Chain A
Amino acid sequence: MRSEDLIGQLTADLTPVRRMAPPGWQALLWLALAAAAIGLCVLAIGLRHDLQARMALPFELGQWLASVATGICAALAAAMLARADRSAAWGLLPLPPLVLWLASLGWGCLADIVRLGPIEGQLETSWGCLRFTLLLGAPLTAALLLLLRHAGPVRPRPVLLLGALASAALCSAGLTLFHHLDAAVMVLLWHSGAALVLLGLVSLFGDRLLMRAPGSG
């Protein structure tokens, strides 16, 4: 078929479309949804008993804010990259808070070694972290990808990864509110471990979600 004929066909059955909300709004909408979901969990489980004391420490507060900022920036970056004409540089937006967050976790580990002794003594299993991040993170990621499914024909993979990062970071921030983990190495291990598992799941199944949703014709 000639391209001119294709244009004829496309214009012949043109239907009006509702313009999509700007990417900033989409990110905000999803962040509100994520905040509500995490808020419900916190309500159901209850805040951790030492939260106030924790948040009074600038280091802990900074770490928590960095994880929240990572989630917000990753969600915004995903929404931006889902549009064909937005700069790929948006993908770098979550990097500074992400680096800050991971570095603060690493620094916390070192501080704990000084405070509590060898790292082996601080290790325990916390399947709860993993379960929480997966149970809440997976649907949140799916919701974001559904919202941004128009990224499929444009930039599917960066949007997938940023979506999973946004969910994982916010879930980790949520976890901190009610889950009691004393040692930073545990937070690092279980929070980032859960985030990695989520990323893995998304790269396994997200393709299908994002590629199929808008159809292929």
Chain B
Amino acid sequence: MSDGEWEAWMAAAQAGDSRAYDRLLRAALPLLRGVARRRIRDPAEAEDAVQDALLTIHRLRDTYDPARPLKPWLIAITERRAIDRLRRSSRRAGRESAIDEFGETLPDPLANQGEAKVAAAELRSAVAALPEAQRTALGLAKLQDLPLAEASARSGMSIGALKVATHRAVKALRKRLGGEE
């Protein structure tokens, strides 16, 4: 950034230039994030502090004096919002406990299999959606764990084709079940 560019953008924003304002806030975002993350370890909480800071900057934009450097002004506001967030979350931490500690909702072991059942159903439907060749290859090579030669003999596919189909099937399943972006 060249000297005074941010200050000029902010002065233009005060006059109502929304493009300059947009450019400024996007350019300043990494700075705000840096300030917030230095204070707050939890990335989601830090991002919330950044958004609080953006709202405060917006609200106080008439108090900025373009004759003064903008960065200290932005940093001071972000620091303040980050400290506010920290205080609030430490107050909350005193009142609440994390839900993970109560992951088991009912004492009966069978009562907590809901998620496993859902996952199994998802897996079954994902396998059913695979192309025929991939489904066969996956079934023989992975589920029944047959040696490639035998799987090849049973399915009539070459060993190379089996390998490729199995690989593709696993990749497709992983993608569908959210294991991979």
A residues bordering B, Cβ < 8 Å?
1, 3-4, 6-8, 10-12, 14-20, 22, 82-85, 150, 153-155, 214-215, 217
Contacts and interface: CB of A to CB of B under 8 A. Distances in A.
Interface of B: 13-19, 21-22, 25-26, 29, 33, 47, 50-51, 54-56, 58-66, 68-69, 72-73, 76-77, 80
A214 to B, nearest CB: 6
A8 B22 CA distance: 7
A26 to B, nearest CB: 10
A147 B54 CA distance: 23
Given A15-B16, A17-B14, A19-B65, A85 B54 contact: no
Contacts of B50: 3
A12 B25 CA distance: 12
Contacts of A20: 62-63
A6 B62 contact: no
Contact of B14 (A7, A16, A84): A16
Contact of A84 (B29, B54, B66, B76): B76
Contacts of B14: 16-17, 19
A4 B29 contact: yes
Nearest to A10: B58
Contacts of B29: 3-4, 7
Residue from B19, B26, B69 having most chain A Cβ neighbours under 10 A: B26
A14 B57 CA distance: 12
A4 B60 CA distance: 19
A85 B13 CA distance: 18
Contacts of B62: 17-20, 150
A151 to B, nearest CB: 9
B77 A154 contact: yes
A17 B58 CA distance: 11
B73 A84 contact: yes
A84 B60 contact: yes
A3 B57 CA distance: 13
Nearest to B23: A11
A150 B64 CA distance: 11
22 contacts: A3-B29, A3-B33, A4-B29, A6-B55, A7-B25, A10-B25, A10-B58, A11-B21, A11-B22, A11-B25, A12-B18, A15-B16, A18-B62, A19-B62, A19-B65, A83-B63, A84-B80, A150-B63, A153-B56, A153-B60, A214-B60, A215-B59
Contact of A154 (B18, B51, B60, B65): B60
Nearest to B66: A19
A185 to B, nearest CB: 42
A146 to B, nearest CB: 15
Nearest to A8: B22
A20 B65 CA distance: 8
A8 to B, nearest CB: 7
A15 B21 CA distance: 11
A20 B73 CA distance: 15
A12 B18 CA distance: 7
B16 A16 contact: yes
Contact of A153 (B17, B22, B25, B59): B59
* Ranked 5 nearest A-B pairs via Cβ: A16-B16, A17-B62, A85-B73, A11-B22, A14-B18
Contacts of A16: 14-16
Contacts of A154: 56, 60, 76-77, 80
Nearest to A154: B80
Contacts of A6: 51, 54-55
A82 B60 CA distance: 11
A210 B58 CA distance: 18
B60 A10 contact: no
A215 B59 CA distance: 9
